[in-house]
């Protein structure tokens, strides 16, 4: 049998094309078997190897199989003989003789090998699709482009959720969409057709509610969620102060009535028309409630004079308050609000430098005992560096230099803390700054909340008015009670009001608001 196989291979190696085909197919197959063996024996555990096993080797295998008949055709044309004659010439009688019921050995061998190929390709194909579903494929196949998203994903609350679980839709449609989309991405990467940084929002993301609500369903949101934000000062001891919010996260299904997740409660539907492509400003918002009532708010900036050249100004002149006919595409497509309109950075979370340092301080990675560490750490992150490698050296040299020069005596016993702080700050930089993709400090605003421009205030602002001209609600305590506000204590406003405190009015107001609005 082995002899037959060897003879077959020799016969197929008609010319250099055929030979290449034989070599590629055989070696790809053997290598694949070898790699799989190593994987099964757990000798190789690096997921990156999957790229070779499941992408490159099957690709070479198929390429080889294609080259063999091509080589044969070239050979036949060159020799100008019939297939029968060539078969007799290329293969020993051992193979070509009709010895069996079903034909020659050659025929039998080809049938057998084809079966093996089909089996291999089937199993391999399944392995390839499976591998393509792995985050490591998404994160590393287009290494440079995806690196920022990959880096942030790995440190996110969704690090255990596969990319495809959110990014690829359900069923065959989703699969085909994703593969076609992937093809385009491959072309973009190959021919450098992509923007840096990658623009958001991703318009063809799979429907968020179908995705997110598999784990986070609206009925699950009730009561309050306590959010204690610790910020550290730029003083010697990096003194902490607190902003504590009791977030009214209810969806309106419970006894308490809904607030934040009221927007996605089953009986409500919120729709909006963006005013700008990145959806950071809205032209109008409409609300359909369970009882059938319907309310619309429109952005008065787009009703009145918004600038000498604005479409709205032209519309106003024509007496039409509605978006004019000159708008198209995203600007005319009303969108039903879903999870990612607010939680647009649930996973790929980029940090502001100050927040990043605060988090490391709170986690203890950076030791507050080091004098002025918030100020110095933040300063080191904000330096202008030529690249990531330069930043790593710069951060380390900058901090060690400063502390050796300015605070030598005070940091004598803190060398270990200082080492840890340097490493932590370097990690912050690596997570957030990606020069190759032109990703600087937080290029993507997070819309859950209103820490950045936008967020809740995209709709909840004084310019968004109903037909009677009354603005939509945008009270500070609409969505959260405030229990501390850059205060020295995490629950400052639950403490008694201090007589001499300039903020005593606010203290009293917020305390009352919190106690009054809870049943």
- Pick out residues in 301-340 that bind other proteins (CB under 8 A): none
Pick the stretch among 186-194, 272-280, 421-429, 503-511 that binds other proteins (CB under 8 A).
Answer: 503-511
Please report whether residue 134 would count as binding other proteins according to CB under 8 A.
Answer: no
Taking CB under 8 A as the criterion, the residue among 213, 224, 269, 352 binding other proteins is: 224
Cα separations in angstroms, 19 against 30, 299, 331: 16, 70, 58
Please report whether residue 230 would count as binding other proteins according to CB under 8 A.
Answer: yes
Taking CB under 8 A as the criterion, the residue among 246, 373, 381, 425 binding other proteins is: 246
Give yes or no for a contact between 68 and 149, defined as CB atoms under 8 angstroms apart. Answer: no
Shortest Å distance, C-beta 295 to other proteins: 20
- Pick out residues in 347-366 that bind other proteins (CB under 8 A): 359, 362
Shortest Å distance, C-beta 311 to other proteins: 21
Where are the strands (E) in 189-307, listed by range?
A: 224-232, 240-248, 269-274, 282-288, 294-299
The whole-angstrom separation of Cα 227 and Cα 260 is 14
- Pick out residues in 250-289 that bind other proteins (CB under 8 A): none
Taking CB under 8 A as the criterion, the residue among 279, 345, 458, 507 binding other proteins is: 507
Find, among 229, 256, 269, the residue nearest to 245 by Cα.
Answer: 229
Please report whether residue 168 would count as binding other proteins according to CB under 8 A.
Answer: no
Kindly give the pairing relationship between strand 240-248 and strand 480-487. Answer: antiparallel
Name the residue nearer to other proteins (CB basis): 127 or 300.
300
Taking CB under 8 A as the criterion, the residue among 165, 269, 367, 503 binding other proteins is: 503
Longest dimension (CA), the chain: 110
Name the residue nearer to other proteins (CB basis): 280 or 355.
355
Name the residue nearer to other proteins (CB basis): 150 or 493.
493
Give yes or no for a contact between 446 and 454, defined as CB atoms under 8 angstroms apart. Answer: no
Shortest Å distance, C-beta 500 to other proteins: 8
Pick the stretch among 81-89, 112-120, 385-393, 508-516 that binds other proteins (CB under 8 A).
Answer: 508-516
Please report whether residue 505 would count as binding other proteins according to CB under 8 A.
Answer: yes
Shortest Å distance, C-beta 314 to other proteins: 20
Name the residue nearer to other proteins (CB basis): 120 or 509.
509
Name the residue nearer to other proteins (CB basis): 255 or 416.
255
The whole-angstrom separation of Cα 356 and Cα 311 is 40
The whole-angstrom separation of Cα 441 and Cα 434 is 9
Query: How far does the chain reach from its first CA to its final CA, in angstroms?
Result: 83
Please report whether residue 368 would count as binding other proteins according to CB under 8 A.
Answer: no
- Pick out residues in 180-219 that bind other proteins (CB under 8 A): none
Residues 152-174: b if buried by 16+ CB within 10 A, e if exposed: bbeebebeebebbebbbbeeeeb
Query: Mapping DSSP to helix (H, G, I), strand (E, B) and coil, where does residue 137 land?
Result: helix
Find, among 152, 55, 128, 66, the residue nearest to 349 by Cα.
Answer: 152
Please report whether residue 510 would count as binding other proteins according to CB under 8 A.
Answer: yes
Cα separations in angstroms, 396 against 182, 347, 358, 435: 40, 29, 19, 19
Taking CB under 8 A as the criterion, the residue among 23, 63, 161, 226 binding other proteins is: 226
- Pick out residues in 17-56 that bind other proteins (CB under 8 A): none
Give yes or no for a contact between 403 and 459, defined as CB atoms under 8 angstroms apart. Answer: no
Q: What is the CA radius of gyration of the chain?
A: 32
- Pick out residues in 378-437 that bind other proteins (CB under 8 A): none
Name the residue nearer to other proteins (CB basis): 223 or 371.
223
Name the residue nearer to other proteins (CB basis): 141 or 484.
484
Kind and range of the H or E run holding 100: strand 98-100
Cβ atoms within 10 Å, residue 302: 23
Shortest Å distance, C-beta 336 to other proteins: 28
Handedness of CA 294, 300, 304, 310 (dihedral sign): negative
Name the residue nearer to other proteins (CB basis): 187 or 495.
495
Name the residue nearer to other proteins (CB basis): 158 or 225.
225
Give yes or no for a contact between 235 and 252, defined as CB atoms under 8 angstroms apart. Answer: no
Name the residue nearer to other proteins (CB basis): 177 or 227.
227
Task: Give how many residues touch other proteins by CB under 8 A.
Answer: 40
Please report whether residue 506 would count as binding other proteins according to CB under 8 A.
Answer: yes
Handedness of CA 32, 35, 39, 44 (dihedral sign): negative
Query: Mapping DSSP to helix (H, G, I), strand (E, B) and coil, where does residue 364 land?
Result: coil
- Pick out residues in 466-495 that bind other proteins (CB under 8 A): 475-477, 482-483, 485-486, 491, 494-495
Shortest Å distance, C-beta 307 to other proteins: 15
| DSSP label of 470 | P
The whole-angstrom separation of Cα 140 and Cα 220 is 35
Q: Which residues bind other proteins (CB under 8 A)?
A: 223-230, 246, 359, 362, 462, 475-477, 482-483, 485-486, 491, 494-497, 500, 502-512, 514-516, 518
């Amino acid at each position: 049998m082995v002899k037959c196989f060897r003879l077959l291979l020799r016969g197929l190696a008609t010319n250099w094309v055929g030979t290449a085909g034989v070599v590629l197919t055989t070696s790809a197959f053997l290598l694949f078997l070898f790699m799989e063996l190593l994987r099964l024996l757990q000798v190789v555990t690096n997921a990156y190897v999957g790229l070779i096993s499941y992408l490159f080797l099957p690709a070479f295998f198929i390429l080889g199989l294609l080259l063999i008949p091509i080589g044969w055709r070239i050979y036949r044309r060159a020799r100008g003989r019939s297939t029968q004659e060539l078969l007799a010439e290329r293969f020993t009688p051992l193979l070509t003789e009709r010895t069996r019921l079903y034909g020659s050995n050659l025929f039998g061998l080809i049938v057998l090998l084809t079966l093996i190929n089909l089996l291999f390709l089937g199993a391999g194909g399944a392995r390839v699709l499976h591998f393509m579903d792995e985050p490591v494929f998404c994160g590393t196949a287009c290494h440079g482009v995806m690196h920022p998203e990959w880096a942030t994903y790995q440190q996110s609350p969704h690090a255990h959720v596969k990319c495809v679980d959110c990014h690829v839709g359900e069923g065959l449609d989703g699969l085909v969409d994703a593969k076609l989309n992937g093809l385009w991405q491959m072309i973009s990467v190959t021919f450098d057709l992509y923007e840096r940084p990658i623009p958001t929002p991703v318009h063809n993301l799979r429907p968020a509610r179908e995705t997110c609500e598999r784990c986070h369903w609206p009925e699950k949101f009730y009561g309050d969620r306590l959010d204690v934000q610790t910020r550290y000062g730029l003083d010697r001891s990096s003194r902490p102060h607190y902003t504590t919010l009791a977030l009214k996260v209810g969806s309106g299904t419970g006894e308490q009535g809904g607030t934040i997740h009221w927007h996605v409660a089953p009986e409500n539907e919120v729709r909006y028309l963006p005013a700008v492509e990145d959806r950071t400003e809205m032209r109008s918002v409409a609300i359909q409630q369970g009882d059938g009532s319907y309310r619309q708010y429109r952005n008065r900036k787009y009703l009145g004079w918004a600038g000498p050249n604005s479409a709205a100004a032209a519309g106003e002149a024509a007496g039409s308050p509605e978006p004019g006919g000159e708008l198209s595409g995203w600007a005319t497509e009303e969108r039903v609000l879903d999870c990612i309109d607010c939680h647009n950075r649930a996973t790929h979370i980029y940090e502001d430098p100050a927040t990043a340092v605060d988090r490391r301080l709170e986690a203890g990675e950076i030791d507050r005992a080091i004098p002025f560490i918030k100020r110095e750490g933040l300063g080191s992150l904000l330096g202008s560096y030529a690249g990531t490698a330069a930043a790593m050296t710069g951060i380390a040299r900058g901090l060690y230099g400063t502390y050796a020069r300015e605070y030598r005596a005070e940091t004598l016993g803190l060398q270990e803390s200082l080492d840890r702080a340097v490493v932590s700050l370097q990690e912050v930089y690596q997570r957030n700054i990606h020069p190759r993709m032109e990703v600087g400090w937080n290029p993507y605003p997070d819309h859950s909340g209103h820490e950045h421009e936008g967020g809740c205030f995209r709709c909840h602002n004084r310019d968004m008015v109903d037909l009677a001209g009354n603005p939509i609600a945008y009270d500070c305590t609409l969505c959260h009670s405030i229990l501390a506000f850059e205060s020295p204590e995490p629950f400052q406003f639950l403490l008694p009001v201090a007589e001499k405190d300039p903020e005593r009015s606010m203290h009293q107001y917020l305390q009352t608001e919190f106690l009054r609005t809870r049943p």
